[in-house]
Amino acid sequence: MTMTVEPVRQEVAPESTSARRLMDKMFKARELAVIAVLVVMLGATQLSNTEFLSQQGIKDLMLNATILVLVAIGQAMVVITRNVDLSVGSVLGISAFAAGLYLQDGGNALVAVLLAVGIGALFGVVNGALVSLGKVPALVVTLGTLYIIRGIDSIWVGSRQITANDLPGGFVDFGHDGISVVPYLALLTLAVLVVVAYYLRSYRSGRDMYALGSNPEAARLAGVPIRARIMTAYVVCGALAGLAGALYLARFGNVDSNTGNGYELIVVSAVVVGGVAFTGGSGTVYGAALGAVLLTSINGVLPALGVSSVWVTAINGFLLLLAIAVDRILALRVAGALRKKAAQTRSARHA
């Protein structure tokens, strides 16, 4: 206790701000990087194929992205709490069919959408209860519910199919039309995105989710109601998957027992590419949404460039690995910078 410290903080100050700047960059850079890749990709495609960003082209890009963006928003929320929901594809499929069946029998369009959302939320409750009460890894639990829900869907749907002809015209138009180039679906998705982002940023329960994902043990000690927060995340994720199911029906007008199969993997990729760390606690839903837009845009870009669309999945995988590699390299650099900083503080104390 004979050591003096006053000079230490001043000496270390510049070091700590530079380490911090690096970290700030790490947190904010992701959204900008995804936007940059997106702009370059779309710009390059436009240069080689001037038809690409026509009015219809832009509209298609947005329409293609909306459904994935919706599911990615919910998934991001779950991943932020250090969990994952693999059942979103199955939930999307079964709620799309339920909404379609209801509309086929002459139901009201709004009620159909609410029905899909409700079914999704219900499965969210099941997932949330299993994960938070059962204390079983979310990956395994939701892999189980993925198959169970898909199984129920297959038995229920059988070889039936909903086609656009079965649906009321207004509902189908809602899936295609918009205000000038902006489709209604995109507006709805944007509204959801803004609301969820604002919730996560500005409400105690939203902040709790970040805390929970960042350090579950500390969250417990700080009195964060862990089960309630995990439950909320899963219910929102399920409800958004249900909403996405209704929008899928409106956009494609075609649902069978295979709808949404394998969707969970592209959703998780989108979330990770968008900078939501799989280890929880960091990232934003805006990032996840951008990740989803990026992945779906590749679908549109390749045909416009005359490249076979069989390349799409390989490129998605490449982007995913790139995103994780970038995260890892940045994390190592930050850790290295911080270790140096600690060493300097220590030697200053010993001086």
Partner 1 sequence: MTHPEPETTPVLALEGVSKSFGAVRALRGVSLRLYAGEAHALAGENGAGKSTLIKTLAGVHRPDTGTVLLDGEPVDFHSPADARDAGIAVIYQEPTLFPDLSVAENIFIGRQPRRSLGRVDHRTVKKAAADLFARLGVALDPDQPARGLSIADQQLVEIAKALSFDARVLIMDEPTAALTGSEVARLFGVVKTLREQGSAVLFISHRLEEIFELCQRVTTLRDGAWIASEPLSDLDEDGLVRRMVGRDLEELYPKQETRIGEVALSVRRLTREGVFTDVSFDVRRGEIVGLAGLVGAGRSEVARAVFGIDRFDGGEVEVLGRKLPTGAPSLAMSAGLALVPEDRRAQGLVMDMSIERNIGLTGFAATSRAGLMNRRAERSRAVDWATRLQVKYARLADVVGTLSGGNQQKVVLAKWLATAPQVLIVDEPTRGIDVGTKAEVHRLLSTLAADGVAVLMISSDLPEILGMADRVLVMHEGRITAEIPRSEATEETVMAAATGRTDRGRKAA
Q: Which residues contact partner 1 (rule: CB under 8 A)?
A: 1-6, 8-9, 13, 16, 19-20, 23, 27, 201-204, 207-208, 210-211, 213-215, 217-225, 281-282, 334-335, 337-343, 345-347, 349-350
**How many angstroms separate the CA atoms of 329 and 255, rounded?**
42
Closest approach of Cβ 342 to partner 1, in Å? 4
Shorter beta-carbon distance to partner 1: residue 159 or 202: 202
Closest approach of Cβ 80 to partner 1, in Å? 9
Shorter beta-carbon distance to partner 1: residue 224 or 266: 224
Closest approach of Cβ 287 to partner 1, in Å? 14
**How many angstroms separate the CA atoms of 194 and 301, rounded?**
27
DSSP letter (8 states) at residue 165 = G
Longest dimension (CA), the chain: 85
Closest approach of Cβ 339 to partner 1, in Å? 4
Shorter beta-carbon distance to partner 1: residue 231 or 293: 231
Shorter beta-carbon distance to partner 1: residue 97 or 210: 210
**How many angstroms separate the CA atoms of 94 and 152, rounded?**
8
Shorter beta-carbon distance to partner 1: residue 258 or 279: 279
Return the axis-axis angle of helices 204-214 and 55-80, rounded to nearest 10°. 70
Report helix, strand or coil for 75. helix
Which of these, 322, 328, 277, 280, lies nearest to 298 by C-alpha position? 322
Angle (nearest 5°) at CA 53 between 50 and 56: 120
Say if residue 294 is exposed, middle or buried (CB neighbours under 10 Å; 0-12, 13-18, 19+).
buried
Closest approach of Cβ 206 to partner 1, in Å? 8
Shorter beta-carbon distance to partner 1: residue 315 or 326: 326
Shorter beta-carbon distance to partner 1: residue 152 or 342: 342
**How many angstroms separate the CA atoms of 274 and 35, rounded?**
10
Closest approach of Cβ 258 to partner 1, in Å? 38
Closest approach of Cβ 19 to partner 1, in Å? 6
User: Distances in Å between the alpha carbon of 333 and those of 124, 199, 342?
Assistant: 38, 32, 14
